Amino acid sequence: MPLYDADETLGPDSFNVEDHADKITISPLPRKNFPQHTQDPEQIFQILKNELLLDGNSKQNLATFCQTWESQQVEQLMNLAIDKNLIDKDEYPQTAEIERRCVRLLADLWNAPGGAVGCSTIGSSEAAMLGGMAAKWRWRDRQKAAGKPSDKPNMVCGSVQICWKKFARYWDIELREIEMTDDNLCISPDDVLKQVDENTIFVVPTLGVTYHGLYEDVLAISEALDDLQLRTGLDVPIHVDAASGGFLVPFTDPGHEPWDFRLKRVKSINASGHKFGLAPLGVGWVLWREQTDLPDDLVFHVSYLGGDMPTFQINFSRPAGQVIAQYYDFIRLGREGYARIHGGSHSVAEYFGNAISKYEDFQVVHDGNPQRGIPAVVWRIRQGCDPGFTLYDLADRLRMRGWQVPAYPLTGTLSKTGFQRILVKRDFTREMADLLLDDMKAGVDYLKTNPTDKPVVTQKAQSYNHL
């Protein structure tokens, strides 16, 4: 048997509350008043480590679009960059060069004709707002040049993620949101044409709508706006919100009809690096078709290696690690690796969607088909069915097993109809899908056997829907 030295110094993982029963372990941590004295770092670390166990398990968080797995190499790169400020181009020139390389690689991925410009952001929400600001400035300059008023800009979109509503409110834009109907979950060209006018700064189709994961038809909308310009002279640009699809379609459906800079009307694209770009949390991207699509008076110029480095971001100081890790993913995985990882996610999603479709009470809205949308599965209670419970009840049951599977309404005529969704990411395996399906069956069986007179409703649902 092994022998141990009774006087051997214990390592940091051997922390025992009984050995440290002093004030910091028997009293709550400061919550209102800033503390006066220093404390033992290992004790504080262990207490906070234990406190974080109260969070949900990120591996079972099927609500979030964000990545919940990273390689050891990415973690090491993040550690190497923990003290680097991305905005300091002169102090960290190689980091600035890595960001520049990422923009060039994305310009190639999204088929820019040459001369594209872009930058990294904290996430796709900031990227979307930068694209919107550029569109507003371009429209305002055009209105002033024509001697027309520029005080009532509007934008046209479908049922969008909250960042666009923030953009419209913060930058004083009229949001003309085309809401959903049973027949049209995505915006149609006809609906778009009914909303645009000379005050429209842009139309925003979404490549992977947050609510249901389906891809909107960018090509059809672009062609409709081309025809409108031929008939009326009205030239309305497109910004593609490719928060999810921008890092999916080029790999999982390379033959997909044009949606990117191959369409001349597409002036800018935003995407989220920390979603299907597979980077750690905290990075997004925005690109403009060419330099003239980004008004120069929005750009700030800083010194960089004795030269000029133009920057355009809402945030200033921000960590560099995520951009470095993004470049690592680009060059390590390549098109082949991204296609393999995302193809696997779509395969698991389609397997899961097929299983859900076998429930007579459920109707699958999106089954994870890579030609139709992102690797997600979305379902509702079939019209005319009354299983005796709501999807909010089912979400509540699943949370008892640690699963975060949100239930939420859509918009328009579906604003009172509950839907449920899972996001399938790289660490959601077939084995996990089977475990979730088993827990879903158990939950459905329980709810049918034990009907409740007071079903969980939207206002009381505990699951956050990430819309």
- CA 438, CA 357: separation in Å to the nearest integer? 15
Q: Residue 462 — very low, low, confident or very high, per pLDDT cuts 50/70/90?
A: very low
Residue 101 clears pLDDT 60, i.e. is over it: yes
Cα 177 to its chain centre, rounded Å, is 20
What pLDDT is attached to residue 56?
86
The region, left, alpha or beta by phi > 0 then psi within -120 to 50, assigned to residue 306 is left
What pLDDT is attached to residue 325?
97
Domains and CATH numbers, the chain: 12-55 (no CATH), 74-329 (3.40.640.10), 339-460 (3.90.1150.160)
Compute the average pLDDT of residues 403-419: 95
**pLDDT tens-digit map of 124-166:** 999 999 999 999 999 999 999 999 999 999 999 999 989 999 9
**pLDDT tens-digit map of 204-255:** 999 999 999 999 999 999 999 999 999 999 999 999 999 999 999 999 999 9
Q: Hey, what are 116's tokens?
A: 């594209």
282 and 122 Cβ atoms separated by less than 8 Å:
yes
- CA 467, CA 460: separation in Å to the nearest integer? 17
Cβ burial of 20 (10 Å; 0-12, 13-18, 19+) is middle
Smallest CA-to-CA distance from 22 within 53, 47, 54 is with: 47
Q: Residue 84 — very low, low, confident or very high, per pLDDT cuts 50/70/90?
A: very high
Report the mean per-residue pLDDT for the chain. 91
Kindly report each contact of residues 247-250 with a partner whose C-beta sits within 8 Å and lies 24 or more positions away, as own/partner: 247/271, 247/272, 247/273, 247/275, 247/276, 247/277, 247/278, 247/338, 247/342, 248/208, 248/276, 248/342, 248/370, 248/374, 248/375, 249/207, 249/215, 250/109, 250/110, 250/335, 250/338
What pLDDT is attached to residue 459?
47
Residue 198 clears pLDDT 90, i.e. is over it: yes
Percentage of the chain with pLDDT > 90?
Answer: 80
102 and 323 Cβ atoms separated by less than 8 Å:
yes
What pLDDT is attached to residue 87?
84
Residue 361 clears pLDDT 90, i.e. is over it: yes
Higher-pLDDT residue of 318 and 169 is: 169
Compute the average pLDDT of residues 35-64: 91
Residue 80 clears pLDDT 90, i.e. is over it: yes
